């Protein structure tokens, strides 16, 4: 059954989504060569506990799984695409890590994932990660009232196939809110104009994952959870929880950052913003759209402004320099 959420319920999912966004930002900060995956799980649990939230991943046991999931995050390295269990493995320079995470707060759940490399990405990884983010963005842009579920699937699939990547039909996006997995299932490939008609109030986890080798086959580890490309090629997985609203898609797991407008200063600020974009927590175009919006530029330089909306703006060229207040990166 597909359930539409009220604006108050969407706000509650957004609150859970902010916890997820904080965890994924923490993962980016803490994951480096030598870090054990288990340490990342411990850090994620700390963020959840501080926020008064719980993990919908911990103890989760869907039909395909032989044992309950033993951690608060999924950590999938290199040829692992989904559902990797954070264990003793130490990250190494050049590893491609996907972190998937959920939070339950006051009875409402949000779900998101990000992928990044330890150290600078190789050209091949950069292209894979970039394509996954493009697919996510285009999938989100298709999440509008009056559209069809197939529009989202088609947008994601077109981006992945254009990149030459493999796409598996067995795992994809889903409704989310009261529970981690709700109807409808959202395949990562599909046909425009087909499927469920999209309405305001639908809350969806949109999550492209691509296999670099170009084949769609995967295998499952003996642990019963970890999904790897069958050909050993690398995988990337990115995800946001998105509410469909009359004003367009609202990304509930994008970090609500505060920006300081510093007219005339360009010192490193676009780089800071770019780091957040790469983290999957903010879309570059949104930042510029916000900075360029009259309501912000009319205010005095140095003012703090909340950025709460994402995914509803048109791409623009870099404009005025800004710094990220709450998540400063130098």
Q: How many residues bind Mg ion (CB under 5 A)?
A: 5
Q: Which is nearer to Mg ion, 95 or 100 (CB)?
A: 100
User: Does residue 100 bind Mg ion (CB under 5 A)?
Assistant: yes
> Near Mg ion by CB under 5 A, which window of 105-113, 196-204, 252-260, 320-328?
105-113
Residue whose token pair is 């990884």: 125
User: Does residue 111 bind Mg ion (CB under 5 A)?
Assistant: yes
Residue whose token pair is 């103890």: 59
Q: Which is nearer to Mg ion, 98 or 320 (CB)?
A: 98
Q: By C-alpha distance, which of 79, 90, 92, 116 is closest to 221?
A: 79
Instruction: Name the minimum Å distance from CB 207 to Mg ion.
Output: 5
Q: Which is nearer to Mg ion, 113 or 242 (CB)?
A: 113
Binding letters toward Mg ion, positions 191-230, x by CB under 5 A: --------------x-------------------------
User: What residue spans of 31-122 are helical by DSSP H?
Assistant: 37-50
**Vertex 189: Cα angle to 138 and 69 (nearest 5):** 95
> Near Mg ion by CB under 5 A, which window of 40-48, 97-105, 161-169, 269-277?
97-105
DSSP state of 197: B
Q: What are phi and psi of 182, to 5 degrees?
A: -125, 170
Strand partners, 227: 82, 220
Q: Which is nearer to Mg ion, 114 or 229 (CB)?
A: 114
Cis peptide before 184 (omega within 30 of 0): yes
Instruction: Name the minimum Å distance from CB 181 to Mg ion.
Output: 7
> Near Mg ion by CB under 5 A, which window of 126-134, 141-149, 214-222, 238-246?
238-246
Instruction: Name the minimum Å distance from CB 256 to Mg ion.
Output: 19
Instruction: Name the minimum Å distance from CB 326 to Mg ion.
Output: 24
Instruction: Name the minimum Å distance from CB 129 to Mg ion.
Output: 17
SS3 of 226-292: CEEECCCCCEEECEEEEEEECCEEEECCCCCCEEEECCCCCCCHHHHHHHHHHCCCCCHHHHHHHHH
Which residues lie near Mg ion (CB under 5 A)?
Answer: 100, 111, 113, 205, 239
């Amino acid at each position: 059954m597909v359930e539409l959420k009220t604006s108050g319920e969407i706000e509650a999912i957004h609150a859970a989504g902010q916890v997820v966004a904080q965890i994924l930002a923490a993962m980016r900060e803490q994951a480096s060569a030598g870090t054990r995956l288990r340490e990342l799980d411990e850090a994620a649990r700390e963020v959840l506990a501080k926020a008064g939230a719980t993990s919908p991943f911990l103890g989760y046991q869907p039909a395909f799984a032989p044992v309950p999931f033993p951690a608060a995050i999924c950590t999938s390295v290199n040829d692992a695409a989904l559902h990797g269990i954070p264990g003793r493995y130490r990250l190494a320079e050049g590893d491609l890590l996907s972190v998937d995470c959920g939070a339950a707060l006051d009875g409402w759940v949000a779900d998101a994932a990000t992928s990044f490399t330890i150290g600078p990405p190789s050209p091949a990884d950069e292209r894979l990660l970039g394509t996954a983010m493009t697919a996510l963005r285009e999938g989100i842009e298709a999440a509008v009232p009056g559209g069809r579920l197939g529009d989202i699937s088609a947008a994601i699939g077109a981006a992945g196939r254009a990149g030459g990547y493999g796409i598996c039909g067995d795992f994809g996006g889903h409704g989310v809110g009261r529970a981690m997995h709700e109807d409808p299932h959202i395949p990562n490939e599909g046909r425009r104009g087909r499927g469920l008609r999209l309405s305001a109030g639908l809350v969806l986890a949109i999550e492209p994952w691509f296999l670099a080798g170009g084949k769609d086959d995967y295998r499952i580890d003996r642990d019963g959870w970890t999904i790897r490309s069958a050909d050993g090629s690398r995988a990337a997985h990115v995800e946001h929880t998105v509410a469909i609203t009359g004003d367009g898609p609202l990304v509930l797991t994008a970090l609500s950052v505060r920006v300081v407008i510093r007219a005339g200063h360009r010192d490193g600020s676009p780089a800071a913003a770019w780091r957040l974009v790469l983290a999957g927590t903010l879309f570059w175009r949104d930042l510029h759209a916000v900075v360029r919006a009259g309501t912000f530029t009319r205010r005095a330089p140095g003012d703090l402004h909340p950025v709460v909306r994402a995914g509803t703006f048109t791409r623009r060229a870099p404009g005025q320099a800004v710094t990220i207040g709450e998540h400063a990166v130098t």
